Amino acid sequence: MGKKAGIPKGTRDFLPQQMRQRQAVMDTIRRVYTQHGFEPIETPTIENIETLTGKYGEEGDQLLFKILMRGAKAASGQCDLGLRYDLTVPLSRFVAMHQHEIGSIFKRYQIQPVFRADRPGHGRFREFYQCDIDVIGARAPLAEISLLHAVSDVFDALKFDGIRIHLNDRRLLRALVEVCDIDLSQETTAIMAVDKLGKIGPEGVRTELCERGISEASAQALLTHIGINDTNEETLSRLEHLFEGREDAQTALRDLRVIVAACEQFGCGRESLLVDPSLARGLNYYTGAIFEIQAKGLDSSIAGGGRYDHLIGTFSGRDIPAVGISLGFERICVIMQERGMFSQMPSGVDAVVTLFDASTLPASLAASRAIRTLGLSCELYAGFDKLARQFKYANERGARYVVIIGSDELSNGTLTIKDMQSGTQETGAMSSLVVRNGTLSFSQQ
C-alpha cells in the first residue's frame, strides 16, 4: 500500500475554485465556436493502437500510453489500445468512418483531454485538455481564414490583450530545402531542426543540421532564407522571388497573401500577424499552411495548427482536405491565472439553511426548496448541529445568507435571514420570501 493516496506523475486534481475558472474558459470557447458555426463532437479516450502509431513521428510514438490486453492475453504483455495523443488523428479517423453522416464541409470543435507520457514539469502535463477546431472538406485559403477568425474572437472574448499569429506553409519549407540544395530525403531532418530555432537559436540549428550530414553551405543558406523582413509584404516578395518557377511554393504564397489580407481586415495588423518562414511545427502530417499563436508579452505558444490534406486518406484511402487549430487550454488558464484575468467567480452557494434537530427538518427542507425556486442556490446544512458551527460552515462556503429556523421560528411559523456580508438579519413568513436584484428578503405586505 506504499503511496496510499498518490496521483500519477504529471496529472492533477481540480478543486472547485479552479474548476469554475476552467468551466468559464471552456464555456467562452464553446460559445465563440458556436457563433462561428462550428459543431461539437466527441471521440473515445481510447483508440486502437494502430490508429495512433506512426502519426506523430518517432518521438510521439514513444510518448503514447498503451493499454495492456485483457484476460488471458494480458500475460503476453501486448497492447491493443492507446490513449488519445491529440484530437487531430481521432478526428481524421472519425471523418473516415462517418463520411456519409457529415456534410460536404464539416466544421467541428472538440474539447477533451489528451495524454502524453512526456517528462512532466513547468506547465507540461501528462493529461491535459485541448480545444480544437477544424474545417474538413474545404481547400485553402478560406478554411484557414475562418479558423483564424474564430480563434482570434476567442482570445478577444477571453480578454487577451492581443495575440500574435505566426504564419508559414509547409510547401515553402519544402521549396526552401530544395533551393538550399538539401537532399529531399533530409527534408524532415531539416524541418525538425528549424522547428527548434526558438529554443536553441541559429547556432544550435546550424550545429544540428551539420551533425545530421547537411553541408555548411546548405545550413547557412537555410538560416539566411528563414529570416523575417521588416514587413509581411517584404517577406512575401522576397520568397516569391526566391521560389520563382516553383509552382507549389507560388500557390502557397498566393494563399498566404489572401490569409494576410483577410486577417488584417478582422483586426490583425503587422503586430499581430507575422509571415514567419522559420515556423516549422513539429508534427509530420502537415501539408500546407501552418500557424502558431502567441500571447502578447509571452514567447511560448498558446495555439497552433495547420493543414493536413493527407491524414484522413491514411484511414479511408481517399484524401479529404482538412485544416485545424488546437488551443493550448492549460497554458491559457495558467496565463489568465497569473495575469489576474479571471473575473470574480461565484462562491459555492448563495444560502445555507440551518438544521438543529429532527423537529426543524420539515420546515428547513421546505425553506431550502422555496429559496431554490426563487433562483438562488441553496443547501440544507448536512447535520443536526449548533448554530455557531453552522455559521462557520456557511463562512467556509462563502455563503451570502444563513437562513435560520430554530424553535422560536418554528413556533411562530417564520424564518430568519442573516446577511453574512452586512451582518443584518430580519425575520418573516416563508410565504413572503422574495429575491429582488439578487437580494433575499421578505415582501412588504
Residues from 338 through 367 that contact a copy of itself (CB under 8 A): 348-349, 352, 355, 358, 361-362, 365-366
**Residue 310 lies near a copy of itself (rule: CB under 8 A):** no
If you search the block for the grid coordinates 459543431, which residue do you land on?
Answer: 39
- 93 within 8 A of 115, measured Cβ to Cβ: no
Return the axis-axis angle of helices 187-195 and 170-179, rounded to nearest 10°. 110
Residues 170-189 that bind a copy of itself (CB under 8 A): none
**Interface with a copy of itself by CB under 8 A: which range of 10-18, 162-170, 180-188, 437-445?**
10-18
CB 243 within 8 A of CB 235: no
Reduced to 3 states (helix: H, G, I; strand: E, B; else coil), residue 166 is strand
Select from 86, 247, 232, 234 the least CA-distant residue to 168.
232
- Of 212-241, binders to a copy of itself (CB under 8 A) are none
Q: Is 380 in the site for a copy of itself (CB under 8 A)?
A: yes
Least Cβ distance, residue 22 to a copy of itself (angstroms): 8
Site for a copy of itself in 143-162 (CB under 8 A): 143, 145-146, 149, 153
Q: Is 8 one of the binding residues for a copy of itself (CB under 8 A)?
A: yes
Tell me: does residue 100 bind a copy of itself (CB under 8 A): no
Residue 143 Cα distances to 29, 138, 258, 262, angstroms: 19, 6, 11, 12
Q: Is 337 in the site for a copy of itself (CB under 8 A)?
A: no
- Our CB check for a copy of itself shows the closer of 219 and 433 to be 433
Scan residues 12-51 and list those touching a copy of itself (CB under 8 A).
12-16, 19-20, 22-23, 34-37, 39-48, 50-51
Which residues touch 341 (CB under 8 Å, ≥6 apart)? Answer: 158, 159, 160, 335
List the interface residues with a copy of itself, window 388-407 (CB under 8 A). Answer: 393, 396-397
Cβ-based nearer residue to a copy of itself, 277 or 288: 288
CA distance linking residue 292 with residue 278, whole number of Å = 11
Cis upstream peptide for 44 (omega within 30°): no
> Which residues, including other chains, have CB under 8 Å from residue 269's CB and lie 6 or more apart?
none
Q: In this complex, which beta carbon is closest to a copy of itself, that of residue 105 or of residue 217?
A: 105
Q: Which residue, 36 or 339, has its beta carbon nearer to a copy of itself?
A: 36
Selection from 306, 179, 172 nearest residue 250 by Cα: 172
Work out how close the CB of 67 gets to a copy of itself at its nearest, in angstroms, rounded to a whole number: 5
Q: Is 135 in the site for a copy of itself (CB under 8 A)?
A: yes
- Binding of residue 59 to a copy of itself (CB under 8 A): no
